[in-house]
Amino acid sequence: MLLQSKNGGWVFLANCQLMTSWLPKLEKIVQTLEKSNPNPDFRLWLSSVPNDKFPIGILQRSVKMTAEPPKVRKRVGETFFTPPNILVLTSCNYVIFTEFMYQILS
């Protein structure tokens, strides 16, 4: 990491929530990097799910980004989880289907 900070490289640490015992040391490394005048092209990328044990110092020095699922998934979810119109259920000729849907919805 120190070498990349001098050379202007990028470092990516994935799944930081899995190394919470090491995060205080990472916070000290980040403080050291900040004081050592790193190359302007240097980037330190961290990925994590939300975690209460993540050091505030790292979060305060960071630009936070979030990733949202694609909108296609939302539409698929709406298709499968939106209750059918009552007219669709009552107009169905298959009694077993209607009974099945009423059981699912209730």
Q: Tell me how far apart the alpha carbons of residues 25 and 47 are, in angstroms, rounded to a whole number.
A: 17
Give pLDDT, residue 21: 93
- pLDDT tens profile 39-91: 999 999 998 888 888 898 888 888 887 776 666 555 555 555 555 555 555 66
Q: What pTM does this model have? A: 0.59
CB-based contact 51:20 (threshold 8 Å): yes
Domain positions in the chain are 2-60, 71-105
Higher pLDDT, 91 or 22: 22
**Which CATH class, in words, describes the domain spanning 2-60?**
alpha beta
CB-based contact 47:15 (threshold 8 Å): yes
Give pLDDT, residue 89: 56
